A and B are shown apart, each in its own frame.
Chain A
Amino acid sequence: MALACLERLTYAYPGAPPALQDVTLTLAPGEVVALLGPSGSGKSTLLRALSGLVPHFHGGRFAGRAVVAGLDTRRARPAELAGTVATVFQDPEDQVVMTIVANEVAFGLENLGTPPAEIWPRVERALASVDALHLWGRKTVELSGGELQRVCLASALALEPRLLLLDEPTSQLDPDAAALFLAAVERLGATVVLSEQRVGRALELATRALFVEDGRLLLDAPTPDAHEWLAANRPSWTSPSVVPTQSPTRPSETVLALRGVAFGYRGGPAVLDRVDLSVGRGEIVALSGRNGSGKTTLAKLAAGLLEPDSGSVRRVGRAGYLSQDPGRYVVRETALAEVALAVQGGEARARAVLERFGLGWACARHPRDLSSGERERLAIAAVAVAEPDLLVLDEPTRGLDPHRKLELGRWLEDYAAAGHAVLVATHDHELPAHRRIGLSVETTQAPLAGELVAV
């Protein structure tokens, strides 16, 4: 018997065109389903329909039927479905309610009326199942993104749901943390719907794949068939998005030179110590490393947003910086105004850059109405429009689907080839780079040579 089914489901958010159109789908107990699709295609909406958040929380127009564990979601509110269904959202910071980890995991159990004597044992089991038992008494504000996301998964698992919905849960994690997270999902035994932009990993885990585009379900097939369909119809989704990178052709004038740089945040230990790094014109340098290894700090020092405690930073020309999670930091009322901000309102230039990033249609839209992937692209456009000599990007592929990531890689190559220098802090080894520099606590506490790892 099916655990959940959507029957000819069409849904539109208030005042918006349909986000889902005529979607029919059945989920059997124990299935692991990969939910794929471009950013803004309707994946998150589909997950919300399965949890009842659509239409109850968001309002809008809803047609068709969604039945989960025998409950019609038009009548059953999300709080009633909680326990049967559990959701892990994309950004862990937006879903944490309590201050202490154990209390956070207990929160859902308390809401569901679990007998008090059962609560702490279930919290313990859930934290242990995601290798996070050591976090029991820690404050949630002090955890890394990876740790917090595992706590969110534990909070969902503690409810022992029959249907677990995961909305790009690894987008903020480094590869090791993402692997740990997905390994925990693999051990569950519940029905899982996993929305992911890291297609390879999702398909390894899943027995079945769905592909959504423009709100329509284009593919619903077992994983092997899905591989074939993707290869034939969406080739960029099956092959890694590595763009062939050639060495910089012109003589490389140094645009950025860090010498013996040390830095520590107020009241904290040194994050970087005696770091040397240089980036030349026409060159793309990638900084990789685990969460907390100092990539963001190094990127901010390079862009001039932080001043080193000691050592020197020399830059030639202007620097532009794209922060992590840039979609959160929008400051204007329309996408066009957001991009035009850096060029003193030069709308023609801003419009051209928006077109270049596939957002020409969104000029008049409010940035906060865009999907997370679209916002990320908007933020890149808002920095790139001023054509800085040194472009520093911090995790620019987060939330980007494979096709958009390929486009970003090509754009970065073009940008470097036009005589700019690019420094990218990224977990993503599929982005093109002339040099890759691996950061670890050991390397950031010791002299770091720019030519550590050459590609």
Chain B
Amino acid sequence: MSPGFLSPAPAAALLAAAGTTALLADRLWAIAAIAVALLAICLRAPAERRWIYLFGALSTGLGVLVFSPFLWSSPEGRLLWEGPTIPVLGPLDVTTVELYEAALNALRLSALALAFSAYALLLDHDRLVAAAGFARRSALAVALATRLVPSLERDAAGLADAVRGRGIRLEGARGYATLLSPLVAGSLERASSLAEAMEARGFGRSGSTRAPRPGWTRRDQLALPLAAALVVMGALWL
């Protein structure tokens, strides 16, 4: 996925196919293999940028693995632990089938999040926008939204520093939750400034052109059927 290995559009198609295959497949080893491959791709991004994406992707999967056996009950499989019956949730127990399903869903979710992480971290979004033959505005909106993650992370750290710098301690999730509203207000303000700058630079004017960019290589052309094949394999055999 590094520059030169694949053009951004075929790379995005492959990542989307990997995520879709992880959702469609039913075999644990196949989904695990996809997740590991995507993790290896993400590890090519600089450490200081990738950690927040990896943390998000892996912690989400872990959350599903830990909690879903308690929230979903199956009479099948060997009973590993039996707890009380909770209203609404039902019997609180853990069976081997529940654990298997939890691992399956955790890996699916992690693979999907890792595919997005690789897209956000490694792809040249500018060329994706340029490659969009239609709906260029929508493609640009997606590219800008992708850039929102590091920008929000920076703003959140800045807000936390600003508050702690006044001697106010931020403790636990509740403490940090108080920063959510100013964080959203700040990103709206940033978005408004960006929109103003874009208008001043002629965005939206009719008759726009594109700077010439390199065409697709043979490898790029092969990537598309490969992506389609991956999805079909996921749906039929994995």
Interface residues of chain A, those whose CB is within 8 Å of chain B, are 51, 53, 56-57, 77-80, 82-83, 85-87, 89, 91, 93-95, 97-100, 103, 106-117, 119-120, 123, 141, 155, 159, 265-268, 300, 303, 305, 318-323, 325-326, 328-331, 341-342, 368, 379, 382-383, 386, 388, 392
A386 touches B167 (CB 8 A): yes
Q: Which chain B residues in 5-37 approach chain A with CB under 8 Å? A: none
Q: Can you list 8 contacts pairing A with B, beta carbon distance less than 8 Å? A: A56-B199, A99-B126, A113-B208, A155-B201, A159-B201, A318-B167, A323-B162, A323-B165
Q: Are B126 and A100 in contact (CB under 8 A)?
A: yes
Contact call A95/B48, Cβ cutoff below 8 A: no
Kindly identify which residue among B47, B140, B189, B201 contacts A108, using a CB–CB cutoff of 8 Å: B201
Whole-angstrom distance between the alpha carbons of A119 and B129 in the complex?
Answer: 17
Q: How far is the CB of B162 from chain A (nearest CB, A)?
A: 4
Q: How many residues of B contact A (CB 8 A)?
A: 53
Contacts of A342 in B (CB 8 A): 166-168
| A79:B203 contact, CB within 8 angstroms | yes
Q: Which stretch (B64-72, B100-108, B142-150, B228-236) binds chain A? A: B142-150
Q: Mark B127-152, 1 if CB is under 8 A from A, else 0.
A: 10110000000001001100100110
**Could you list 14 further interchain pairs (A-B, Cβ under 8 angstroms) beyond the known A107-B201, A119-B212, A331-B182?**
A51-B200, A79-B203, A83-B202, A86-B201, A110-B208, A110-B209, A111-B203, A112-B202, A113-B208, A155-B201, A321-B164, A331-B162, A368-B185, A368-B189
- Interface on chain B toward A: helix, strand, loop, or mixed SS? helix
Which residue from B51, B178, B199, B210 sits with its C-beta under 8 Å from A267?
B51
A87 to B201, alpha carbons, bound, how many Å?
Answer: 8
CB–CB A322/B202 < 8 A: no
CA–CA, A342 to B166, complex, Å? 6
Query: Is B161 within 8 A of A321, CB to CB?
Result: yes
Residues of B within 8 A of A (CB): 46-48, 51, 124-127, 129-130, 140, 143-144, 147, 150-151, 155, 158-159, 161-168, 178-179, 182, 185-186, 189-190, 193-205, 207-212
Residues of A within 8 Å of B179, CB to CB, are 331
**B124 and A323 within 8 A (CB):** no
Contact call B200/A53, Cβ cutoff below 8 A? yes
Q: How far is the CA of A265 from the CA of B161 in the complex (A)?
A: 16
B208 to chain A, nearest CB (A): 5
CA distance A119 to B158 in the complex (A): 37
The answer to whether A89 touches B167 (Cβ under 8 A) is no
Cβ–Cβ < 8 Å partners of B204 in chain A: 79, 111
6 nearest A-B pairs in the assembled complex, by CB-CB distance: A267-B47, A321-B165, A82-B202, A111-B202, A95-B197, A329-B162
Q: Smallest CB–CB gap between A73 and chain B, Å?
A: 12
Which B residue sits closest to A268, measured CB to CB?
Answer: B48
Distance in Å: Cβ of B12 to nearest Cβ of chain A: 14
Decide: B211 and A106 in contact? CB cutoff 8 A: yes
In the assembly, what is the distance between CA of A40 and CA of B159, in Å?
A: 24
Question: Quick check: A341 and B168 within 8 Å, CB to CB?
Answer: yes
Whole-angstrom distance between the alpha carbons of A139 and B69 in the complex?
Answer: 43
Which residue from chain A places its CB closest to the CB of B48 in the assembled complex? A267
Closest B residue to A51 by beta carbon equals B200
Closest CB-CB distance, A45 to chain B, in whole Å? 13
Contacts A78-B200, A113-B207: A331 and B155 contacting too (C-beta < 8 A)? Answer: no
Q: A379 to B179, alpha carbons, bound, how many Å?
A: 16
Pick the contact of B147 from A57, A141, A392 — CB < 8 Å?
Answer: A141
Asked whether, in the complex, the Cβ of A79 is within 8 Å of the Cβ of B202, the reply is yes
B129 to chain A, nearest CB (A): 8
- For B154, the closest partner residue in chain A by CB is A93
- Bound-complex Cα distance A53 to B140 (A): 22
Q: How distant is the Cα of A94 from the Cα of B189 in the complex, in angstroms?
A: 9
Q: Tell me the smallest distance from the CB of A315 to a CB of chain B, in Å.
A: 12
Task: Tell me if A94 and B165 are in contact (CB < 8 A).
Answer: no
Q: Which residues of A contact B202 (CB under 8 A)?
A: 79, 82-83, 108, 111-112, 159
Contact partner of A303 (CB less than 8 A), chosen from B158, B165, B189, B203, is B165
